[in-house]
């Protein structure tokens, strides 16, 4: 109960920062946990392949009750009486050579473990980017909500003023009803934004794999002018940087290495198999006058054996295994190339989006400044009776749309900066 309370306080106390959301997602998300389980299983497979080099050793004891005609294990002669007998043994065996199959399998499983670890990191990185996107969507909707409430307050003031003027017959009825219709439209717009904000928060909570009710408010981020080092680089330069560390690319490289070792493992089946075995064994019989442990000592035998197995007709099946392994290598190569091309396209598109978002934001800033002045003039003329409500509301709606677009553009620019910095290997969540 205490742990649950502490966790609830963690989620619903202070505002969640972007780093907090990413940490919770990596901790709680099923896909992150599933990827970690895959890595752990790959480590076990690697460990198991190494342990296959250890000789197999076993020991055992047996006890028999005989009745009627039987062979006495001590004298090795037939007797016709009731007696008890037993045996003890310890034995071991080891494969000395089979075309380096065991060593190549160890290398294959080591490569598989490396690939699984990089694939786990790739899953976590994608989850991190998804959280960043969802976080930005929450902040965008929240700021849009606040902006819409301000605009509703402004519209309410205009409606209040128009109500008094309409009662006095100073303004045309159409202006009064236009303003009231505008207020109703603004309230509906607020509901749509509230819906978008709720959907964004639910999506963020889903990525963190926590109940929506436990997800506290999100913290604001700095909206200073972004300074992305990747923005000054050509796509080819960022692609070169990404190729040095991007987990999915590294995972593809290790899958190729795994497939190459798989061919060596399959080819080892053509080689003869040389094995060695040895052990100790002893017997016991109730017909002997000696005790159990003394018989075990006196009847102790030792043996050492070697075995050579040469595949004959198995070559047909082995050739099929080699062919499958070669197909796996070919498939791994195609996957690696496809992964590389996909990331190259993604990086090129991200850098283009970053530059476009930067230009859009500057254009939206200039647009808002101009429409601010236009609305100021329209307000003064409307209050003076020089223009009707249609022109006034047009200027008002244009300004409000420009302010909303600027909010979206600001977060779009910041979002693209995060993505570009990630591909450049210099992502900072501070």
pLDDT at 225 over 70: no
pLDDT at residue 279 greater than cutoff 90: yes
Averaged pLDDT for residues 354-362: 93
**What is the residue-averaged pLDDT of the chain?**
88
Under the banding of pLDDT at 50, 70 and 90, the label for residue 8 is very low
Angle, nearest 10°, between helix axes 389-423 and 314-384? 150
pTM for the whole thing? 0.83
370, 409, 223, 16 alpha-carbon torsion, rounded to 10°: 140
Q: What is the pLDDT of residues 204-224, one digit of tens each?
A: 999 999 998 888 899 988 776
pLDDT of residue 9: 36
Provide the CA 424 distance to its chain's centre, in angstroms.
Answer: 19
pLDDT given for residue 2 in this prediction: 32
Q: What is the pLDDT of residue 1?
A: 33
| Residue pLDDT, tens place only, 359-378 | 999 999 999 999 999 999 99
- Looking at the predicted structure, is the pLDDT value of residue 68 above 90? no
Look at residue 171 in the predicted model and tell me its pLDDT.
81
Amino acid 232: pLDDT: 66
Any idea which of 132-146, 228-242, 269-283, 381-395 has the lowest mean pLDDT?
228-242
What residue spans define the domains of the chain?
2-54+98-272+310-423
State residue 7's pLDDT score: 38
The answer to which of 6-15, 143-152, 204-213, 389-398 has the lowest mean pLDDT is 6-15
Closest CA to 71 of 53, 55, 85, 50: 85
Report in angstroms the alpha-carbon separations of 286 from 60, 84, 124, 295: 19, 5, 68, 10
Residue that wins the pLDDT comparison between 100 and 255: 255
Q: Which CATH number fits domain 2-54+98-272+310-423: 1.20.1600.10, 3.30.230.70, 3.30.200.20, 3.90.550.10?
A: 1.20.1600.10
More confident residue, 429 or 139: 139
Give tens-digit pLDDT for 298-317.
888 899 999 998 888 888 88
């Amino acid at each position: 109960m205490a742990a649950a309370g502490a966790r609830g306080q963690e989620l619903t106390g202070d505002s969640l920062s972007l780093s907090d959301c990413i940490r919770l997602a990596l901790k709680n998300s099923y896909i992150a946990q599933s990827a970690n389980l895959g890595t752990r299983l790959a480590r076990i497979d690697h460990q198991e392949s190494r342990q296959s080099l250890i000789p197999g050793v076993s020991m055992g004891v047996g006890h028999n009750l005989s009745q009627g005609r039987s062979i006495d294990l001590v004298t090795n002669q037939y007797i016709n009486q009731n007696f008890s007998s037993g045996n003890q043994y310890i034995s071991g065996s080891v494969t000395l050579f089979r075309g380096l199959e065991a060593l190549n399998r160890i290398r294959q499983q080591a490569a598989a473990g490396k690939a699984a670890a990089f694939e786990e990191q790739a899953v976590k990185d994608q989850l991190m980017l998804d959280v960043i996107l969802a976080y930005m969507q929450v902040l965008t909707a929240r700021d849009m909500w606040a902006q819409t409430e301000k605009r509703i307050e402004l519209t309410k003031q205009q409606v209040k003023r128009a109500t008094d003027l309409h009662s006095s017959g100073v303004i045309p009825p159409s202006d009064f009803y236009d303003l009231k219709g505008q207020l109703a439209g603004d309230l509906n717009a607020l509901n749509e934004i509230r819906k978008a904000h709720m959907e964004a928060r639910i999506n963020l909570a889903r990525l963190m794999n926590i109940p929506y009710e436990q997800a506290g408010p999100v913290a604001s981020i700095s909206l200073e002018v972004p300074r992305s080092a990747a923005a000054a680089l050509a796509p080819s330069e960022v692609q070169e940087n990404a190729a040095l560390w991007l987990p999915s690319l590294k995972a593809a490289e290790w899958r190729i290495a795994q497939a190459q070792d798989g061919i060596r493992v399959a080819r080892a089946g053509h080689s003869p198999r040389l094995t060695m075995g040895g052990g100790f064994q002893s017997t016991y019989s109730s017909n002997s006058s000696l005790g159990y442990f003394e018989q075990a000592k006196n009847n102790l035998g030792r043996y050492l054996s070697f075995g050579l197995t040469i595949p004959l007709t198995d070559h047909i099946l082995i050739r099929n295994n080699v062919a499958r392994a070669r197909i796996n290598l070919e498939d791994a190569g195609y996957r690696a190339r496809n992964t590389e091309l996909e990331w190259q396209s993604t990086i090129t598109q991200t850098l283009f989006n970053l530059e476009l978002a930067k230009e859009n934001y500057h254009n939206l800033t200039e647009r808002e400044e101009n429409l601010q002045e236009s609305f100021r003039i329209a307000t003064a003329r409307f209050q003076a009776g020089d223009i009707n409500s249609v022109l006034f509301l047009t200027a008002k709606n244009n300004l409000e749309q420009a302010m909303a677009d600027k909010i979206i553009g600001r977060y779009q620019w910041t979002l693209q900066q995060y993505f570009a910095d990630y591909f450049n290997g210099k992502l900072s969540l501070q």
